Amino acid sequence: MTDILGEDMDIPQDRDYAAEIPSVAAKEAPVEKSPLFKKIDDALMNKVALFNNSYARYAARSMLATLFLTLGTAAAFGTAIQAEKFLPGSGKFTFAFMFSWSLVMIIFMGAELGTSNMLFMTVGVYRKKLKFSKAAKILGTTLLFNLIGGIIFAYMVSLTGPFQDLPAGNYLFTGIAAKLSKSSIQIFVEAIFANVIVNTAFFINLRMKDDAGKVMAIIFVIFIFAFLGYEHVIANFPAFSLAFFASHGTIPGMTLVSVIHNLFFALIGNYVGGGLLIGMTYAWLNRTKTSYVD
């Protein structure tokens, strides 16, 4: 084409101007999925697949959780009992440190823990990955076999040397008696914080890549709730059982009613802390079109 001065004008004839205008679809395209919740979804689907295909194997993994928890609890109480002999008041520190290894074993050995599954199942229902009925069955199964494992393995540990002929005022017996004397509201609130801490440790485990870093992070995070004496319903399964068997049922205040009272309010509080305060909150936070995801 020639302009009015007779000079040629270089006008591209094949330029696609429409392609330069962002489409409505492009503007509304969802942001990249949260890397953290991608891992949570994958872990959830593994749990569901195992539950659907082999109930026995799922039950076994649930019992393994309290095997490791029982061993960690026994080591924690055992070291606390010995520490108190040399330095009164030090048992609380040694207990918290040794107990922290329980979750390390549970995570690295692929066991199923009821308090972490409170988060997974709640998130799964909220994100429409599974139905409420299925989530309830999986969580109920986990809790049931955590309980069975806790009782069986605690009884076996009570037959070992460190828990034979313990004196009446030892750290294990006095600690359990104190747990059973707590009020309903104290148990409930402490249980909320306990499972906030436990599921924070699970989040850290999913986000970190280095195994050594995971171990250190888990130990120091779990130390918080163990040192503060917060209530964790699954940890109480073997703790109460071990104290009962080792004391031959002589702990003051330990009755069926007091045990059920503690476990009930710890269970409810743990669900609020892990399932709602951490699980539901972070699932909602990551259900966003912004780039601010975990």
Q: What gap in Å lies between CA 232 and CA 90, rounded to an integer?
A: 22
Summarize the confidence of residues 247-262 as an average pLDDT. 96
Residue with tokens 């309010």: 265
State yes or no: pLDDT of 3 exceeds 70: no
Is it the case that residue 32 has pLDDT exceeding 50? no
At residue 60, φ and ψ (nearest 5 deg) are: -65, -45
Residue bearing the bigger pLDDT, 56 or 3: 56
As a whole number of angstroms, the distance between CA 146 and CA 237 comes to 8
pLDDT band of 288, cuts 50, 70, 90: confident
Predicted local distance difference test score (pLDDT) of residue 94: 95
CB 228 within 8 A of CB 142: no
Instruction: Report pLDDT for 76.
Output: 96
Are the CB atoms for 176 and 91 separated by under 8 Å? no
Q: With 0-12 CB in 10 A as exposed, 13-18 as middle and 19+ as buried, what is 104? A: buried
pLDDT at 157 over 70: yes
**What tokens appear for 10 in the block?**
């270089």
Q: Which whole-number Å values give the CA distances from 71 to 102, 103, 177, in the listed order?
A: 7, 11, 20
Least confident of 27-31, 236-240, 273-277, 281-285: 27-31
Segment 161-212, tens digit of pLDDT:
999 999 988 999 999 999 999 999 999 999 999 999 999 999 999 999 899 9
Contact 195, 279 (CB under 8 A): no
pLDDT of amino acid 294: 87
Predicted local confidence at residue 113, as pLDDT: 97
> Encoding tokens for residue 111?
């066991």
Whether residue 280 contacts residue 123, with contact meaning beta carbons closer than 8 Å, is answered with yes
Adjacent-strand bridge partners of 8: 2
Q: What is the mean pLDDT of residues 134-158?
A: 98
Looking at residue 51, its amino acid is F
For 35-286, CATH number out of 1.20.1080.10, 3.50.4.10, 3.40.190.80, 3.40.50.620 equals 1.20.1080.10
pLDDT at 28: 42
Q: How far apart are CA 246 and CA 142, in angstroms?
A: 26
Arithmetic mean of pLDDT, 76-86: 94
Please choose, from the candidates 263, 257, 222, the residue with its C-alpha nearest in 3D space to the C-alpha of residue 99.
222
The tens digit of pLDDT for each residue in 211-224 reads: 999 999 999 999 99
**Rounded average pLDDT over 234-253:** 96
Average of per-residue pLDDT values in the chain: 90
pLDDT of 20 strictly over 60: no
pLDDT > 50? residue 21: no
**Helical residues (DSSP H) of the chain, grouped into ranges:** 24-27, 35-53, 55-86, 91-99, 101-108, 114-126, 132-158, 171-180, 184-207, 211-228, 233-247, 256-270, 281-285
Q: Please measure the distance between the N-terminal and C-terminal CA atoms of the chain and give it in whole angstroms.
A: 56
The 10 Å Cβ neighbour count of residue 215 is 18
